[in-house]
Amino acid sequence: MHPAPDPRMPPVDHCVLRDVLERQARERPGQVFLTQANGTTWTYLETREQVLRTANALRRLGVGQDDRVLSWLPNGPDALRLWFALNYLGAVYVPINLAYRGRLLEHVIKNSDARLLVAHADLHARLADVAPAALRQVVVLGGAASTAIAALQTLDATALDSDDASLPALARPIAPWDTQAIIYTSGTTGPSKGVLSSYMHWYSMTSSFLDLNAADRFLVTLPLFHVGGIMPVCHMLTLGGAIAVMPQFDTATFWDTVRATHSTTAILLGAMVGFLLRQPERPGERDHSLRCVTIVPFNELAPAFRERFGSDIYTHFNMTEVSMPLRSQRNPTALGAAGRPRPGIEARIVDANDCEVPVGAVGELVVRSDCPWALNSGYNNEPEATARAWRNGWFHTGDAFRRDEHGEFYFVDRLKDSIRRRGENISSFEIESEVAAHPKVKEAAALAVPCEGGEDEVLVAVALCAGETLEPAELIHFLIPRMAHFMVPRYLRFVPELPKTPTQKVQKHLLREMGLDGEVWDREQAGITVKRERIGQGKR
């Protein structure tokens, strides 16, 4: 006899993607699930057919249960059908940030152990500059491959086409604790880490949203390699709601997109809120369908957004490794608010020895869940990093919080050596590695300096080799082709030596105390702008 099911675990047709989509296609076949940027739609039944055809094409390429497959695609129907098709086979979805190149891209490819990559044509050429590791095949969508790459078999878009819309057989049923995705998030003392996310992890994260139901349409402008893009898709699929997936957030067209897609909710980063508030006021600004938004982080601009545009606002604390452990009620007002622990979550604020600090004191937020697999399953191929993060049975967020006497949690700062810019978590380690690759640079220290919207700009303190001189602009132009656009520092400070402890650790707190005072070179004032490369824009 099988043991009685654990009451904490949902049915598989509520948390395992394949089973969820099968259920929704039966129960609401003609209801629209996906609205695309060009206005075309897929119903639940059409979505299922697209996914099944893609899944059988992937199976023909040799993809099986538990295989890792890399997805390097912009937001759109191709990215969505590939993700869903992989999960239909019980394979693992491993998306790559579109800005990755060079050593960062090479690290993700190697760490993933993937044999197959599906990439947009605009990105394919970057593979020529990296070691393939286990990678053997690349399927190119959105155009023709620009060049042949040694050691890689390159296939065109027909490799993902199939006339077979049958349900693929599985070696075993997909379980809630199986790995659904590996999402790469910035490292602190090393390269980016691959977060192992089970189906239960994503279900727990998405089911934490308040005030949404099957009548809602979620406007998705964050990328499908980012927790803020994946989470709304999973949530609306589970609810039987709808999504409108756009290539990216665009300030000038945001409200037109809301109206055209009849979207009812969205996630807005603090910087996005600032961009929208700086737009000239227009008549009828409250004439839209966006009844509620989630704003992260919750800064002084959030109440102003509600006052001007009329949408209810929420906030929460989340990161790729957890499952929205803190969430607010409707329309909070306190700056820095992150809400309270959701049901099933324990949250504490602790000191360096994991002892709980008094109410009002600042410490590190640690969390755990009463439900198995509801948080991350560790870091891919990094047991030591996993052990450090899960010390003493609690997941350590690396973020500083305080708690008031009413049980409300407030974000204070980052304890970990990470920078957040335009919604991207940036590893200072990775920036420092690229800066130090310049032959004239002895060593470097990257750190965050605050900017408007509650996010960061990147400052790098640079110590040159003895006798060398280096123009700041020369260093920036050296970095641009080597790193993602959002990592390129805005500020440079040249110093004779980096301040260090007696054990030769860089004292970044001293650099932070200096801030932007003194001789700091500003890339933007020098007229050097670094923009995101538009992948697949205007192409079929």
pLDDT in tens, 357-385: 999 998 999 999 999 999 999 999 999 99
- State the Cα–Cα distance between residues 130 and 114, nearest whole angstrom: 14
What was the pLDDT predicted at 300?
77
Residue 389 near residue 321, CB atoms below 8 Å = yes
**Confidence (pTM):** 0.84
Between 136-150, 250-264, 316-330, 444-458, the lowest mean confidence (pLDDT) is in 444-458
- Residues 98-103 have a mean pLDDT of 89
Query: Is 80 exceeded by the pLDDT of residue 221?
Result: yes
* pLDDT beyond 70 at 55: yes
In this predicted structure, what is the pLDDT of residue 106?
A: 95
- Range with the largest mean pLDDT of 4-18, 313-327, 521-535: 313-327
pLDDT top residue among 251 and 425: 251
Confidence category of residue 2, pLDDT binned at 50, 70, 90: very low
Cis-peptide into 499, omega within 30 deg = no
CA distance 56 to 160: 8
Of residues 340 and 1, more confidently modeled:
340
> In which band, very low, low, confident or very high, does the pLDDT at 187 lie, cut at 50, 70 and 90?
low
| 160 or 148: which leads in pLDDT | 160
Which pLDDT does position 4 carry in this prediction?
A: 54
Sole residue written with tokens 């004292």: 507
State the Cα–Cα distance between residues 135 and 153, nearest whole angstrom: 9
Assess whether pLDDT exceeds 90 at residue 200. yes
Percent residues over pLDDT 90 in the chain: 73
Contact at 8 Å (CB) between 297 and 267?
no
> Quick check: 280 pLDDT over 80?
yes
Q: What is the bridge-based pairing of β-strands 292-296 and 265-269?
A: parallel
Close Cβ partners of 115 (under 8 Å, ≥ 6 residues apart): 62, 67, 68, 69, 134, 135, 136, 137
Q: What is the largest CA-CA distance in the chain?
A: 77
Does residue 418 register a pLDDT over 80? no
**Higher per-residue pLDDT: 336 or 166:** 166
The percent helix, strand, coil of the chain (3-state, each to 5) is 30, 25, 45
Q: What is the DSSP letter of 393?
A: G
Please name each of the domains of the chain with its CATH number.
40-199 (3.40.50.980), 335-416 (2.30.38.10), 418-522 (3.30.300.30)
